[in-house]
Homo-oligomer: A and B are copies of this chain.
Amino acid sequence: MPPTPAVPDGRRATLADVAAQAGVSVALVSIVMRGAKGASPATRERVLEAARAIGYRPDSRARMLRSNRTHLLGVQFEIQEPFHTDLVEHLYAAAESVGYQIALSAVAASRSERQAVESLLGDRCEALILLGPQAPAARLAELAALLPVVSVARRLRPPVPGVHVIRTADDEGARQAVDHLVSLGHRDIAHIDGGKAPGAADRRRGYRTAMNRHGLADRIRVLPGGLTAQDGATAADALLAAGARPSAVLAFNDACATGALSTLFRSRVSVPEEISVVGFDDSRLARLPHVDLTTMAQDIARMAELAVTRVTERLEASDTPTGQDIVAPHLVIRGTTTAATAG
């Protein structure tokens, strides 16, 4: 059955059209559409039928314009960043469960953070959830003066008042990874770090702390790395060239780890038999069957849920203080780690 193309002329159907069709007032149709109370079951049915007949669909702009609330949470994310797209997926679910909607605004090569945020503000989002924002603290403060802001996966030092931060316990994650390797009997554990990437300093510190705690201070070896596969590959080259090869490597993140893996494969060093490798993030990459990387998983679902909660509770009670939520990561054991060979 064809979907009855709206009203006579090209316009989309409005409340008034439905009202005319059903022979009631506009206000009553509004009541029915919102599911508010104040309409008898009989008319309710009649109105709904009329709406269906002429293909009425509420206009969210008009709706938001009138009711001062938009119930819109603006999300800025990097469209090419798998970690961000994972988060977005969970944000949809989290927002829906508390009666809010998500407005997406991507950052891409052709679209700056500034543009992304401006567009969200123009849509009158009630709050901003920024994934890994690069904006300077001053800019964030400026935004925070306007509406509740939360920064996910980007630590702010010093904290910016009005901006709540949600991040993974990077140091704790690195410690867990080292603990895992040590429990497998490894002692020569190297770390390919993330340079100046967000979180890199914490992971480096976590690695050092754990090594010290296990009495392996003299085995600490930090190789300059980065957040791309290329960085990992280069670092692994350096590692092999150096001669004394460690029995395990903790990489800054999964991309870096896969880069290292590829170097090892090419050099016919078998993983995990000759060397164990641990990544960080539990990205899609790590889960690919031929990568099958042991890694520290960030609790993305939890982070998304926290982001929505923090922001909505500030909308409801505007005096809620901002702070920081640090989410614990957990180890996911896959195929790139195994017990150290004796000796």
Contacts and interface: CB of A to CB of B under 8 A. Distances in A.
A263 interface: yes
B289 A259 contact: yes
Contacts of A146: 3, 5-6, 12, 55
B110 A93 contact: yes
A88 B265 CA distance: 35
Number of copies: 2
30 contacts: A3-B145, A12-B124, A57-B118, A57-B121, A57-B122, A59-B65, A60-B119, A60-B122, A60-B123, A60-B124, A61-B61, A61-B62, A61-B64, A65-B65, A79-B89, A80-B284, A88-B106, A88-B108, A89-B111, A92-B108, A93-B110, A96-B110, A104-B104, A104-B106, A229-B288, A233-B289, A259-B290, A261-B290, A262-B291, A265-B290
Interface of A: 2-3, 5-6, 12, 55, 57-62, 64-65, 70, 79-80, 82, 85-86, 88-90, 92-93, 96, 101, 104-106, 108-111, 118-119, 121-124, 142, 145-146, 229-230, 233, 258-259, 261-263, 265-266, 284, 288-291
A92 B106 CA distance: 9
A336 to B, nearest CB: 13
A122 B265 contact: no
A258 B266 CA distance: 15
Contacts of A110: 89-90, 92-93, 96
Question: Which are the 5 A-B pairs with shortest beta-carbon distances?
Answer: A262-B290, A93-B110, A60-B122, A89-B108, A61-B61
B230 A289 contact: yes
Given A5-B145, A6-B146, 19 more contacts: A2-B142, A55-B146, A57-B121, A58-B122, A60-B122, A79-B85, A79-B89, A80-B85, A80-B284, A88-B106, A89-B111, A92-B106, A96-B110, A104-B105, A233-B290, A259-B290, A262-B289, A263-B290, A266-B290
